[in-house]
Amino acid sequence: MAVALIEFEQVRKAFGSKVVYESLNLEIHEGEAITVIGGSGMGKSVMLKMLIGLLGVDSGTIKFDGEVISNVTQSQLAKVRRRIGMLFQGAALFDSLNVRDNIAYPLLEHGRPTPKEIDARVAECLEDVGLPGIERHKVAELSGGMRKRVGLARAIALRPEVLLYDEPTTGLDPIAVAHIVDLIVELNERYDVTTVVVTHDMPAAFRVSDRIAMIDRGYIIFEGSPDEIRYSDDARVRDFIEGNAPETDDIQTLLRYGG
């Protein structure tokens, strides 16, 4: 039996009269790579923000490792947050800091490492994302793909058990997409982390996921393996994956995603 590491139970979330989640129910299993798909504005980012406590829930609960983590105190939340790394949509780096100091940020927020310890960990994380030696670079000088990878280096700085990715491939050129997709898979395997990706990029979803869940108008309307979603006959699922699926005769896409 798969162990639920994260559980959303009847989570309701609205902004004013705009209901994002009527009742969100989802279990995320330890060690799996799950992708949550859904159209723009369906609440993918909101889901991740509720999970790390940037947004509260209106009712229902979110559990992590068996404990309720929704609507808890800042200090309880801090304990959870250091176990979860997140790559934000748009990377959310501090432009005024260089690459090293961006990656060092969570280390200083959650502990008192020496400068030497920081340097060692930063170097390791940059190595992990395939960008060794760029510590002194200014964030403003980085390409979109590099920004995402530095954001990922920051997300893994505390060696989290869970990695959350918000639209990791959006806005990147095909080579950078292939790179980040490979990294997601690699980190999931190498560090045995639980991986949660939210995206509307179907090829990326197929490539990284053990399981895919689809959200639509406030509910999870599908959960299953990539093969199960490929052959789902739910019209909403079909519309979504067909609208996003690569052209089968597009050789570059096929090569990139391995068919």
Ligand X SMILES: Nc1ncnc2c1ncn2[C@@H]1O[C@H](COP(=O)(O)OP(=O)(O)OP(=O)(O)O)[C@@H](O)[C@H]1O
Residues near Mg ion (CB under 5 A): 44-45
Residues β-bridged to residue 4? 29
**Using CB under 6 A, which of 3, 15, 117, 175 touches ligand X?**
15
Nearer residue to ligand X within complex by CB, 15 or 94: 15
Q: Does the protein bind ligand X through residue 193 (CB under 6 A)?
A: no
Nearer residue to Mg ion within complex by CB, 145 or 168: 168
Residue 201 three-state SS: coil
Nearer residue to Mg ion within complex by CB, 45 or 253: 45
Sign of CA dihedral 69, 46, 161, 25: positive
Choose the contact partner of 147 out of ligand X, Mg ion, none; CB within 5 to 8 A by kind: none
Q: Does the protein bind ligand X through residue 243 (CB under 6 A)?
A: no
Short-list 181, 182, 241, CA closest to 214: 241
Nearer residue to Mg ion within complex by CB, 25 or 45: 45
Nearer residue to ligand X within complex by CB, 26 or 125: 26
Choose the contact partner of 20 out of ligand X, Mg ion, none; CB within 5 to 8 A by kind: ligand X
C-alpha–C-alpha distance, residues 241 and 229, integer Å: 8
Choose the contact partner of 15 out of ligand X, Mg ion, none; CB within 5 to 8 A by kind: ligand X
Q: Does the protein bind ligand X through residue 40 (CB under 6 A)?
A: yes
Burial class (CB in 10 A: 0-12, 13-18, 19+), 247: exposed
**Binding residues for ligand X restricted to 68-107, rule: CB under 6 A:** 89
Q: For residues 105-127, b (16+ Cβ closer than 10 Å) or e, as one string? A: ebbeeeeeeeeeebeebbbebbe
Residue 137 structure tokens: 């670079």
DSSP type of residue 246: P
**Using CB under 6 A, which of 41, 111, 133, 174 touches ligand X?**
41
| Contact positions vs ligand X (CB under 6 A) | 15, 18, 20, 38, 40-46, 89, 167, 200
